[in-house]
Structures are given as C-alpha cells and as structure tokens.
Amino acid sequence: MPSQRKPMIDALANAMRAARTVTVLTGSGLSADSGVPTFRDAQEGLWARYRAEDLASPEAFERDPDTVWQWYRARRQQIAGVEPNAGHWALAALQDQLPDLRLVTQNVDGLHQRAGHRDVIEFHGNLLSNRCHRERRIVQVDDATDLPPPCPHCDGPVRPNVVWFGEAIPEEAIAAATTAARQSDLFVAVGTSAVVQPAAGLADLARGHGARVGEINPEETALSASVDFGIRARAAEVLPALVEALLGHYTPD
C-alpha cells in the first residue's frame, strides 16, 4: 500500500470506529478484481455480435427466450470460475467487527455471500437464482439446460432472478437500502461509478441525513468531488488495509 494512501485509510478507519451505523455500497469494480467482466464487457466469443442491453430486457426474453437464457447461462459459467477476492473477504470481516454494518450491492454474482457476508441487500437481484417470468416468484429448477425450464407452479417460462432494463428495483431492496442510507453515520461507495440510479442517489441521501461519505475507486466518479474520504485504488487492495487499520491486525482466512 503506497504510503500516501495510509493517512486517508486511517481516517476512514477512525470514522468507521466512531460510527454507529455504516452502510457500504458495492459495484462492478469490486467484482472486477475477481475477474468478473463488467456487464457491458461480458460480450465475447459467440456473444460478441450482441449488445448486452439487447439481451437484458423483458421484451428480449419474450421475443427470444432461448437466446437470452443461453447468454445468462454463459454468464453463470463465467462466475462459477471465479472466487471472492480480498475485498469481499475484508468486507465480511468488517461485518464481524462493526455492530451495524449494512451492505448494499449492485452486483448479481453472489460473491459477497460466498465470502460469508450475511443479509446482503441485492439491488439488481442474483444471477444464481431464478424466478418465474409470469408470477415473479423465486423457483427451484434445473437451470443447467439449453432452454429456459418451465415454472413448476404455473408452467410459465423461468428466467434469471435479475433486474432488467425497464424493470423496477424490488421494493424490499429499495426500502432496505433507503433505510440504511438514512440511518448511516458513514456511507462508503466501493467500486461503483455512482451513475446508475437509484443506487447512485444513496450517498446523497445519506449525506442529507448527516452521514460522512467515503469512496474507494481507482477512477474519478460523479461522487468523487463531494466525498469526505476519497481513496483512488482498487477495492481488493484498500479494503484489507482498511480492516487492518481498524483492528490493528488482519489475517485473511
């Protein structure tokens, strides 16, 4: 860890130590450190001739469910080949140390849960689960198939349990994330561009209710100019250092 980052990491650790409630928002930059391609970079090989946006909508699924299902099956196979990175493990360690840490993620890969994090607020759903497109209920099916399986309840088509373009964020996720932001003493955005709404508005909501705001991202974002703690580095590098600064020691499992 370059020495010039240490004072800001120490300052963020002190803010965490003093906070009663900490909310962390994670985005694709965190999963990128595990080798998960970002949504718009996921097109390769057979899928290079498609735009991701043209496959991720209810209209696309209704028009050509087989192609959409097969693309998401390929994405699931990509995710199955990666592991949580040091940033995921560090956030799980933070949950064990901070009395009220709330995690909101824009990622759909389930890597937080695989690292042991509990009660993750999933803004955009979870790619590793499925739901009925007709009834919207979560279903258990054999999804290692070439074609979308039928719903065991209504025989309607089954789709990945993710939020597509033109669909609303689940109400329970919105409610939980909004409550977390409002109640936070410290809000930290990790690896997110701070562009996609409504998640991008959570930092402003937290600040409006008195929270201090931190950002961990190697790139400048729309949020960068207004944060109290800005660390320009990869999450997988900074988060373990943050845990060490908070605890005085940190040995990843």
205 and 89 in a common domain: yes
Number of H helices, E strands in the chain: 9, 9
In a domain? residue 252? no
In a domain? residue 47? yes
- Rounded Cα distance between 111 and 26, Å, is 11
Peptide bond between residue 7 and the one before it cis (omega within 30 degrees of 0): no
SS3 state at 22 = strand
The pTM of the whole model exceeds 0.75: yes
Q: Each residue of 124-169: pLDDT tens digit?
A: 999 999 999 999 999 999 988 999 999 999 999 999 999 998 899 9
* CB half-sphere exposure, 106, CA atoms < 13 A: 23
**What mean pLDDT is predicted for residues 188-209?**
87
- Rounded Cα distance between 87 and 91, Å, is 6
| Position with higher pLDDT, 238 vs 251 | 238
Apex 217 CA angle, 15 and 80, nearest 5? 110
Token pair 């965190």 is found at 30
Which residue segment(s) compose the domain that 52 sits in? 40-81+132-162
**Confidence (pLDDT) at 247:** 86
Q: Each residue of 37-86: pLDDT tens digit?
A: 765 555 555 446 677 778 889 999 999 999 999 989 988 988 988 999 99
**Confidence (pLDDT) at 52:** 73
In a domain? residue 143? yes
* CA dihedral (108, 29, 20, 212) positive or negative: negative
114 and 177 in a common domain: yes
Q: Confidence band (pLDDT; 50, 70, 90) for 108?
A: very high
SS3 state at 138 = strand
Q: Each residue of 218-236: pLDDT tens digit?
A: 999 888 999 999 999 999 9
Q: What CATH number corresponds to the domain at position 139?
A: 3.30.1600.10
SS3 state at 155 = coil
The catalytically annotated residue of 117, 124, 209, 249 is: 124
Token pair 């950002």 is found at 215
Is 133 known to be catalytic?
Answer: no
94 and 216 in a common domain: yes
119 and 28 in a common domain: yes
In a domain? residue 112? yes
